[in-house]
Amino acid sequence: SVMFDGTKIHMYYHAGPVVPHYLGHATSIDGINWNKDANPILDRGGFGAFDSNLIAAPRALRYLNKLRLYYSGFDGAHWRVGLAEELIPVPYYSQSDPLWANDIYDSAQNWAAPESQTMASLGCAVTSATMVLRHFNVQKTPGNPDTSLPAKELTPGTLNEWLKSVQDGSFRNGATNFASIANMTVKSHELDASSPKLEYSQGFNTSDIDEELNNNRKPILKLEYLPSPSDMHFVVATGSANSTYTILDPAHEDLKALSPNYQTLLRVDKFEVTNSDFSYLILAVDEGVNLELADKNQQPVGSQQLEKPLFDQVNEHSYGGVTLNVLYLKHPNIGSYTLNISNL
For the cut 70, the answer to whether the pLDDT of residue 64 exceeds it is no
* For range 122-130, the mean pLDDT: 96
Cβ neighbors of 147 (< 8 A, separation 6 or more) are 165
Higher pLDDT, 111 or 33: 33
Report residue 45's pLDDT band, with 50, 70 and 90 as the boundaries: confident
pLDDT digits (tens, 9 = 90+) for 162-218: 999 999 999 998 899 999 999 999 999 999 888 889 999 999 999 999 999 988 899
Percentage of the residues of the chain whose pLDDT score is greater than 70: 99
Which amino acid belongs to residue 333? N
For the cut 80, the answer to whether the pLDDT of residue 59 exceeds it is yes
pLDDT digits (tens, 9 = 90+) for 307-318: 888 888 888 887
Which amino acid belongs to residue 124? C
What's the pLDDT at 225?
Answer: 83
For the cut 70, the answer to whether the pLDDT of residue 103 exceeds it is yes
| Cα distances (angstroms) measured from residue 6 to each of 28, 58, 193, 332 | 12, 21, 16, 42
What's the pLDDT at 195?
Answer: 87
Percentage of the residues of the chain whose pLDDT score is greater than 90: 66
Calculate ∠ Cα 47-51-52, nearest 5°.
30
**Model pTM above 0.85:** no
Answer for the pair 279, 324: CB distance below 8 angstroms, yes or no. no
* For range 66-91, the mean pLDDT: 90
Q: Chain centroid to CA 341: how far?
A: 34
Answer for the pair 307, 265: CB distance below 8 angstroms, yes or no. no
pLDDT digits (tens, 9 = 90+) for 210-261: 999 988 899 999 998 877 767 889 999 999 888 899 999 999 999 999 999 9
* Cα-trace Rg, the chain: 23
